[in-house]
Chains A and B, each alone.
Chain A
Amino acid sequence: EAGVTQFPSHSVIEKGQTVTLRCDPISGHDNLYWYRRVMGKEIKFLLHFVKESKQDESGMPNNRFLAERTGGTYSTLKVQPAELEDSGVYFCASSHGGGTGELFFGEGSRLTVL
């Protein structure tokens, strides 16, 4: 069974440009999460999808970040325009059900904004 896959693994862009990160969850997992670790900081929650609906987006830092999950399958996280402080590693995770139970994380997408 394929795990959570994220693309790209590393992206280098200039301040002001746009980047779109993609996450493919484990097949059949309705729950999809985005987390990120900015440099030197802890891993922080961004948002949670249940199928195509945003269940919780309380961790989204500002309106430069847009997450979508059309069709309830893969998800994209767009940063537009990117700022220097957006540099970090963006993790996606998925799970089968809500409540307790493990989250399956991808290997992350490293974003470097110059």
Chain B
Amino acid sequence: LAKTTQPISMDSYEGQEVNITCSHNNIATNDYITWYQQFPSQGPRFIIQGYKTKVTNEVASLFIPADRKSSTLSLPRVSLSDTAVYYCLRGDTGRRALTFGSGTRLQVQP
């Protein structure tokens, strides 16, 4: 299963917008992009999912350019509680086995 590439860690301050970019150069036609958030001692939690262009929900936005070789998760006005590991995953619409990479550890400071 193909993985994605994302920064190991990022630092931010409360109230800032955070953008985490993920590379998936060999993305297949059937693949969609999903982002999960994980806090210590908890299971991953779904944030957002998209196939192309822009998707927005109440917590984040996901930008996927036309070539779909990368995607960017945007977290508006982060707070301390957004400190977590964020995973970018690609998945085949016909197959539900997700492949988790190393994730991006986001540290939000006051």
A-side interface residues toward B, CB under 8 Å?
4, 31, 33, 35, 42-45, 48, 55-56, 58-59, 91, 93, 95, 98-108
Contact = CB atoms under 8 A, between A and B. Distances in A.
B96 A98 contact: yes
The 6 closest A-B pairs by CB, nearest first: A105-B43, A102-B46, A43-B100, A45-B97, A99-B93, A105-B44
B104 to A, nearest CB: 13
A69 to B, nearest CB: 15
Contacts of A4: 43
Interface of B: 1, 32, 34, 41-46, 49, 87, 91, 93-102
A102 B49 contact: yes
Most buried by A among B1, B49, B91, B100: B100
Contacts, number: 57
Given A59-B97, A107-B43, 15 more contacts: A31-B96, A33-B96, A43-B44, A43-B100, A45-B1, A45-B99, A48-B97, A91-B43, A95-B96, A99-B94, A100-B91, A105-B45, A107-B41, A108-B41, A108-B42
A103 B42 contact: no
Contacts of B49: 100-102
